[in-house]
Amino acid sequence: MPFNFNAIYSVAPDADGGCVGVAGRWTPQLDETVDVGWLIGGPLEKAGLSFKQLELNAQVVRFPSGQETEFGGQAAYLMRIFGIDGETVSEKPLENTPDLARLSDDAALKAKLADYISANVAAVDLGVYEIPDEFLAKKVVSWSTFGSARQANHPFTPLFQPADFSGLDYSALKLLRTPEALVERLDNGACQGCHQAGSTAGFHFIGLDDKTTSPLNRIEVGISPHLHAEMPRREAWLRATADGNEPNHLRPLSFAPPAAWKDAGGVAYAPAEMAMPCLMPQDAARFGTTWQCGGGTVCTALATASGVRTKLAQCLLPKDSEKMFSGHPCLTGSIASNGTQPFNDRYSITGQFAAFATGISRTAYTCRPPKIGVPAGIAYRGCNDTDRAFAGFKPGKPMPNEICGLVGGKKFDICVATNNFDQCLGGAVNRGNRPACSADHFCREDYMCQSLPPDTPGIGKVKGVGFCSPTYFIFQMRIDNHATPWSRAVRATMGAGFGAAEAE
């Protein structure tokens, strides 16, 4: 059952001469790999820390693709915060996350929250606001798939109309230009909004697997695209603070790409990579600082949702591209939102946009449907001998978009119903092309970077490279009691080049 507990500690604001001194404690005197003592003797020294809270993010239910054939599966995540004082445990409010039910029923409280937002719009713009506890929820559930588009993950949108904030002055703000952008900023700053936009299956820090985990199901990249992009911002903030300079306080939307952070204001976003989130032109126009898609990709809407003003969009190949690769989404759709029962949201496929009509794309790739567990569908091509030899991966050359990884398809779910899961899995998982991924090249929403087994022939050519799998193909992300696939039958099937058969 995938879940995260974060133990949060705080430092007294006047410790070590204030923020400058505290920031300086995070700078090791030697390289961290040499001087490991700097961490526990410096910023994490127990005497200088006080426990603040324990934060929980746990997957509590998953509906498989066989049940959610259009979505390609659904999952729900419980989010809570606890205070611990001796033997006393208490619930704490979720930061910047509104109690939607209570505010919807209390017009006066809702109006008071609107007044707070209006009075603190500059702080909301920078992302450094703290909504008072009286407005906040103590328990929420976030939803995937298509999490960034789901109404349940946009808690401010049903509370406020843009007209509620139309009288504010946006001219001096850095990020927000319109009332629509203000509400979207608030949605993204809520717990469920942040953890379903720029995340990996609702998490930002999954962690890596150790040797006790089956080599068929190890995670290659244990952090989300958001955390990857966020770390340089935090490092720049830390350096500026330690040097006594005014740091750049702007915290971007959680699905923004990495950026070059400058003291006291300037920011230059890198172009978003293939399959990474973007804002459609009409949505981007609401914000003062946005980014462009790079690498010849085009911002393309994958899904719209009723009751949500922004679209789920990703930087994808144009329709007429001859550079199609396995794993590229091939279907678009719309979500009919059920405000009080998100598990009853319904996704409908509305079109196919990937290039399957011209040139090599017409014969080389098929569009695999969500019912086999692949949200938004995937372009697919089986591995040939050249793919199995990783011939396209050369030192000093850009990483190809696809790699000969592992595939499963609908047989993966069928194995759950058998009395011999290991043997069933041995016949269900084979070689097939998938998107390539690495520590700085991430998978699209609803997919995560999985490792190739260490005995894969030729694996030395692709060190540090994994393949993008639908999130719930990976055992660690499922809660339906999979057995550990350690049987000899599985290892025999996966060894010796994994055989020639393809599952899809």
Report whether pLDDT(417) > 70.
no
The mean pLDDT of 104-128, rounded to a whole number, is: 97
What is the model's pLDDT at position 498?
Answer: 36
The mean pLDDT of 484-501, rounded to a whole number, is: 40
What is the model's pLDDT at position 491?
Answer: 42
102 phi/psi in degrees, rounded to 5: -65, -45
Report whether pLDDT(345) > 70.
yes
CA neighbor of 331 nearest in space, from 63, 69, 143: 69
Q: What is the DSSP letter of 483?
A: P
pLDDT band with cut points at 50, 70 and 90 for residue 3: confident
Q: What is the CA radius of gyration of the chain?
A: 23
pLDDT single digits (tens) 203-235: 998 888 877 777 777 899 999 999 999 999 999
Structural contact between residues 450 and 476, judged by C-beta atoms closer than 8 angstroms:
no
Report whether pLDDT(357) > 60.
no
The Cα–Cα gap between 197 and 191 comes to: 10
Percent of the chain clearing pLDDT 70 (strictly above): 85
pLDDT single digits (tens) 158-194: 999 999 999 999 999 999 999 999 999 999 999 999 9
Tell me whether strands 298-305 and 331-336 are parallel, antiparallel or unpaired: parallel
Report whether pLDDT(431) > 60.
yes
What is the model's pLDDT at position 461?
Answer: 95
Q: Collapsing DSSP states into helix, strand and coil, what is residue 502?
A: coil
Q: Which long-range contacts (CB under 8 A, 24 or more apart) does 32-37 make?
A: none
Percent of the chain clearing pLDDT 90 (strictly above): 60
Neighbouring C-beta atoms of residue 5, cutoff 10 Å? 10
The mean pLDDT of 474-498, rounded to a whole number, is: 48
pLDDT single digits (tens) 372-383: 889 999 999 999
What is the model's pLDDT at position 15?
Answer: 63
Report whether pLDDT(356) > 70.
no
Structural contact between residues 374 and 368, judged by C-beta atoms closer than 8 angstroms:
yes
pLDDT single digits (tens) 67-92: 888 999 899 999 999 999 999 999 99
What is the total residue count of the chain? Answer: 504
The Cα–Cα gap between 251 and 233 comes to: 8
